[in-house]
Amino acid sequence: MDKKKRVFSGIQPTNVPTIGNYLGAMRNWVTMQDESECLYCVVDLHGITIRHDPEEFRRKTRTLYAILLSCGLTPEKSVVYLQSHVSGHSELAWLLGCYTMFGELSRMTQFKDKSAKHPDNINSGLFTYPVLMAADILLFDTNEVPVGQDQKQHVELARNIAERFNHIYGDVLVVPEPVIPAVGAKINSLIEPSRKMDKSDPNPGAFISLTDDRDTVLKKFKKAVTDSDPSIRFDPENKPGVSNLMTIYSLATGKSLAQTEAEFEGRGYGVFKPAVGEAVDAMLAPIRDKTNMYLGDIAQLESMMRLGAERASAMSEPVLRRIRGAIGFVQAGD
């Protein structure tokens, strides 16, 4: 029997994920766990490059972990854990930082974007966090990394670091491949459909959070930007708002874009936008209910976190020993 591919992906606990995160990535994670050996991580270490309130950060971290479980990631099929609970992430980030070039990090698009957004806090963590992201991936001999198009650059950096390390020390690190969904990889803002939907958008009407209640979901879709042409057809260049809503509806219902076009032909936005809202609410309702259930029993939730961290640590230790050995460290037990 062929060995299952190992998959790793992570998400920051900065805000509640949006339907863009879910449809573009998280829902695919659930499918992947049936066919691959999967690790899914709340990357809380990445979340502290910007200033934050500790209690709020703790609450968001627990909520995100509960959401991951509620979306269908199960301990029976996947390793679901918090990044800060597995010390190998931080250790490997330092080791790999010594094999990462300054020029590589200075070209990272997100460093430039986040520096512009937080000019009063351009800290070294903001600059070096792509190395931590590479460590996240390489710590587990990861074969595939499901990412959105905007994160592909970081997986490419992980590949470059692994190949450089292997060139020096031999075949030590597995070189990962990015996996980008062919459909729905990018869900755009409801207010500015030329931009990606962002859970940190200052305008809450621009995104749908996975914990938004029914009334909020319907109101946001009712106000979603379309255009003056009432026809409902998929044309991203000329009708970006409508095309974005069609993509969301298609992914929420399982209907093709052609079927969606046919369903709403001649019916106008007054029918179409509420229908998208209803479809999204139907998709989110079970996730909301399960999230509330998990958050109602913090002791059980933290027990599941510990189990995930124990499993992730056990999987990472052989990789770390191999890396330390290659570099030349004297290891306990040698």
Distance CA(292)–CA(304), nearest Å, equals 16
CB neighbours of residue 74 within 10 Å: 11
Specify whether 196 is catalytic: yes
Contact indicator for 187, 248 with CB cutoff of 8 Å = yes
Residues 250/260, Cβ–Cβ less than 8 Å? yes
- Active-site entry in 196, 220, 239, 273: 196
**What single letter denotes the amino acid at residue 144?**
E
According to DSSP, residue 22 is labeled I
d(CA 230, CA 266): 8
Helix axes 240-253, 269-295, angle to 10 degrees: 50
Whether the CB-CB separation of 271 and 263 falls below 8 Å is answered with no
Active-site residue, selected from the candidate residues 60, 114, 239, 273: 114
Q: What does R_g of the chain's alpha carbons equal in angstroms? A: 21
Question: Which one of 60, 186, 199, 239 is the catalytic residue?
Answer: 199
Tokens 């920051």 locate to 12
Active site includes 273? no
Catalytic positions, written as ranges: 114, 196, 199
